[in-house]
Copies of this chain bind each other. A is one copy, B any other.
């Protein structure tokens, strides 16, 4: 019998969106549980390391967006069988996560002076560094992060970039990174993802 999957996150995309993509891609049923602000203090005490997302697989609890996405990526056939190729994609997903963390930190910074500093660092250093190097990797590899074949790392990238562009308020890929933008379009053209995106709740980022 297929396991019962329960995804717990908030009512936005964030680092849960790649997980939702992967469920959609695989046609796998899951319960998408959006935690309300009022319930968060209690939920936080109940989950490992006090962080979301978590994915319950029957009675096991997985945490960490990249670990969950890799697991689902294998389940839905989006992980290469070669271990070295798989590790290269792990590194891409982890780097996408790091980049997202930096944008997230800037977005939620309350101190105005520090927020300006973080924005300057993003503009001048981190956006070009992360996206520039990813663009170059795709240029060398072919169409996707893994070469000619789409992988979970591409879905991970696009899921996180939706959130990053939402916070950043700019279609940065379309403007500056044509190969990454092509991945973005290709992922959204997958029928199952297109259907999911067209029907998902209104998530701002």
Chain A contact residues, CB within 8 Å of chain B: 48-50, 57, 60, 62-64, 66-68, 70-71, 74-75, 83-84, 86-88, 90-91, 94-95, 129-130, 133, 137
Copy tally for this chain in the complex stands at: 2
Interface centre among A60, A64, A71, A87 (most CB of B within 10 A): A87
User: In the complex, A132 Cα to B36 Cα: how many Å?
Assistant: 26
Query: 24 A-B residue contacts at CB 8 Å?
Result: A48-B91, A48-B95, A48-B137, A49-B129, A49-B133, A50-B129, A57-B84, A60-B84, A60-B88, A62-B84, A62-B88, A62-B91, A63-B91, A63-B95, A64-B90, A66-B94, A67-B90, A67-B91, A67-B94, A68-B87, A70-B87, A70-B90, A71-B86, A71-B87
